[in-house]
Amino acid sequence: MRLTKVGVTRAALVAGAVVALEVLCRLGTIPRATMIPPSEMLAALWQILKSGRADADIAFTIVNMLAAIAVSVVFGFWLGAMLHALPRARRVFEPLLSAYYAVPVFIFYPLLIVAFGVGRTALIVMGAMFGIVAMIVNTMIGLDRVPRVIGRTATVMRLDPIRRLLLMRLPAAAPHLVTGIKLAVAYSVIGIVAGEFILATAGIGKRIAFGYQDFDNKTMYGMLLLLLLLVTAVNGALSRWEKRLHHRFGRQ
Amino acid sequence: MKPQHYDAALLVAGFLVCWQLLYMLVGPEVVSPPVDTIMRAVALLRTGDFWHDAASTGAAFAYACAIAIAGGLVFGLVVGLSRFAAEVADPILGTVYSIPKITLYPIILLIFGLSPAAQIAFGVIHGIFPVAIFTMNAVRNVAPVHRRTAKALRLSPWATIATVLAPAAIPEILSGVRIGIAVTLLGILIGELFASSSGIGYALIRATERHNVVDIFALTLLLFLFAVGINALLHAGERRVCHQI
């Protein structure tokens, strides 16, 4: 990574905030019952990972996340491409899609529990419900902005509709699709972790909620840190990928 | 009938038909039929308990929105005016915005205790980031020629903000406020579902624990209509303001 003034300031700001938190916790300004110092969070996380007692929960959450993300991205892409191809249907669904995230989708979780029981399926469906619409909308935006010359080239090459979509328009729409994937990942993760928090049998979210209820701050903050690191790493990687694609294809 | 009204009617009718079919497919143990649900929702609207919960949720929602919007606007304006500060803050805000904030709720509960203050704080940490991010970008995206004009006219900083920056940035800021309000509602309801002693979210989780399917569906329907109504109102307001500018 290049060292720039902006980058250095940002790193200093984040480091400063962590150090300030550490000092405030050590001095007791923030009581231990509320928050443990960041260094102890890290130690707690290390302990948890080394002992392996949370491995099953971590695997449970990660598998659910991957499943929900896969469902959102794959089905979101096909639904988006279908709606793009059918303008009449698109006009009908447009208001629903644009207002979708104004509705707290999470209120449907109790319905999913009734339908699927408490467990993996309800969580995955919840995660997919959070993520899929971001993918649908961004797929449509991406396909809208494919230059017309690409469609004409496909016609000249006599590609069938599926190849036309996968070989020509998909790469041309790639920057927006990556934006869709990034949002679908973020939303799916929120849906799954929130579901684990409220009502679930296992998972990272469940561990954090349990730690809170048991006044077990070490487990709670250790797992919290794990989740934050995981989300930040994935989000950072996707953002960089998105930036690179936007750069290569030029922002339209 | 205008075409978009026809489309909306088609959407609602299709939704109700799918709902009824789903009910006929899986039965009353899992899905409550549309007619019963609507009747139950209307009955709920006539009970004192419901309005007690609604008042509790509504008050927390109103406070959280006020704090999130005010805080986000001030932060976004101040940071957005400096190019350097905005570049430093942008990825940090983006990362914080994308983390599942539900994980932070236990921390907020440890700080504020199980109280309305905790719910409000939780709503605020949902809503403040989109407002701040949109405001910051709106101010950054104001065309340089506008700023230079303000400078050439020797406007005071206050006059620059009031007569040049605000009108140029307001459409984008309003989108941020609309999104902020929507996620604040999400935050308040998730908070109530996880741990609270009153509110619509609390009523919903009680109904879930009792496996009261009709109540779950009726409450979900009412919340859904409330959220859609708020969004439609904000959209209409946004269009009017943008039209005037």
Pick the more confident residue, B243 or B87. B87
Domain range list for chain A: 37-249
In the prediction, which pLDDT does A211 show? 87
How wide is the angle at C-alpha B166 spanned by C-alphas B162 and B168, nearest 5°? Answer: 130
Contact A110, B220 (CB under 8 A): yes
- Tokens encoding B6: 């026809």
In the prediction, which pLDDT does B124 show? 94
% chain A with pLDDT above 70: 97
In the prediction, which pLDDT does B1 show? 59
A-facing residues of B in 96-115 (CB < 8 A) are 98-107, 109-111
Residue (of B37, B67, B43) closest to B221 by Cα position: B37
Contact B34, B20 (CB under 8 A): yes
How far is residue B175's CA from residue B79's CA, in Å, rounded to a whole number?
Answer: 18
Q: How confident is the model at residue A252 (pLDDT cuts 50, 70, 90)?
A: very low
How far is residue B202's CA from residue B192's CA, in Å, rounded to a whole number?
Answer: 5
How far is residue A16's CA from residue A39's CA, in Å, rounded to a whole number?
Answer: 14
Cβ of B99 within 8 Å of Cβ of A197? The answer is no
How far is residue B221's CA from residue A69's CA, in Å, rounded to a whole number?
Answer: 27
How far is residue A173's CA from residue A179's CA, in Å, rounded to a whole number?
Answer: 10
- The CATH architecture of the domain made up of A37-249 is Orthogonal Bundle (1.10)
Average pLDDT for B115-121: 89
The ipTM, to two decimals, is 0.77
Average pLDDT for A155-170: 86
How far is residue A28's CA from residue A33's CA, in Å, rounded to a whole number?
Answer: 10
Handedness of CA A237, A239, A240, A244 (dihedral sign): positive
Which residues of A fall within a CB distance of 8 Å from B53?
A: none
pLDDT at residue B159 greater than cutoff 90: no
Report phi then psi at A200, rounded to 5.
Answer: -165, 170
Residue pLDDT, tens place only, A163-222: 888 888 888 888 889 889 998 998 899 899 888 988 888 889 888 888 888 888 888 899
Average pLDDT for B4-12: 82
pLDDT at residue B44 greater than cutoff 50: yes
The number of CA neighbours under 13 Å toward the Cβ of A50 is 6
Which residues of A fall within a CB distance of 8 Å from B220?
A: 107-108, 110-111
How far is residue B128's CA from residue B140's CA, in Å, rounded to a whole number?
Answer: 18
Residue pLDDT, tens place only, A3-42: 688 888 888 998 999 999 899 988 888 888 888 888 999 9
Q: How confident is the model at residue A78 (pLDDT cuts 50, 70, 90)?
A: very high
pLDDT at residue B10 greater than cutoff 90: no
Cβ of B10 within 8 Å of Cβ of A92? The answer is yes
Q: Which residue from B84, B110, B219 is facing A6, i.e. has the nearest CB?
A: B84
Average pLDDT for B139-162: 85
In the prediction, which pLDDT does A2 show? 58
Contact B242, B168 (CB under 8 A): no
% chain A with pLDDT above 90: 28
How far is residue B143's CA from residue B168's CA, in Å, rounded to a whole number?
Answer: 8
> The pTM is what?
0.83
How far is residue B215's CA from residue B202's CA, in Å, rounded to a whole number?
Answer: 12
Residue pLDDT, tens place only, A88-136: 888 888 878 877 887 788 888 888 888 888 889 999 999 999 999 999 9
In the prediction, which pLDDT does A250 show? 58
How far is residue A141's CA from residue A136's CA, in Å, rounded to a whole number?
Answer: 9
Report phi then psi at A145, rounded to 5.
Answer: -95, 10
Residues near B236 by Cβ (< 8 Å), separated by ≥ 6? Answer: none
Distance from CA of B6 to the nearest CA of A (A): 9
